[in-house]
Amino acid sequence: MPSSSAPQLIMVGSIGLDNIRTPAATRENLLGGSASYAAAAASFFTSAGLVGVVGTDFPRRHETLWRRLGINLRGLQRVRGKTFRWSGEYEQNMDHRRTLDLQLNVFADFQPKLPQTYRAAPFLFLANISPELQLRVLDQMTAPRFVMADTMDCWIQQAREGLEEVIRRVDLLTLNESEARLLTGETSLLAAARQILRRGPAQVIIKRGENGSVLFSDIAGIALMPAYPLESVVDPTGAGDTFAGGFIGRLAAAGRVTAVELRRAMLYGNILASFGVEAFSLDRLAQLDGRQIADRIRAFRRMCRQP
Task: Give the interface with ligand AMP as residue ranges (CB under 6 A).
Answer: 14, 16, 18, 32-34, 86, 102, 128-129, 152, 154, 237-241
Residue 238 C-beta: closest distance to ligand AMP, Å? 5
| Least CB distance to ligand AMP at residue 127 (A) | 8
- Minimum distance from CB of 236 to ligand AMP (Å)? 6
Closest CA to 49 of 110, 108, 122: 122
Residue 156 and residue 160: Cα distance in Å, rounded? 5
- Nearest to ligand AMP of 148, 257 (CB atom): 148
Least distance CB 129 / ligand AMP (angstroms): 5
The conformation of residue 143, written as its DSSP 8-state character, comes to -
Give the residue nearest to ligand AMP (CB): 32
d(CA 1, CA 127): 20
Cα-Cα end-to-end distance for the chain: 37
If the CB atoms of residues 152 and 251 are measured against ligand AMP, the closer one turns out to be 152
Kindly tell me which of 122 and 238 has the beta carbon lying closer to ligand AMP: 238
Which runs of consecutive H residues, i.e. helices, occur in the chain? 34-42, 60-68, 116-119, 131-140, 153-158, 160-169, 177-184, 189-198, 239-254, 259-276, 283-286, 290-304
Q: How far is it, in rounded angstroms, from Cα 122 to Cα 116?
A: 14
Q: Which is closer to ligand AMP, CB of 40 or CB of 215? A: 40
Nearer to ligand AMP, 129 or 257 (CB): 129
CB of 243 to ligand AMP, least distance (A): 8
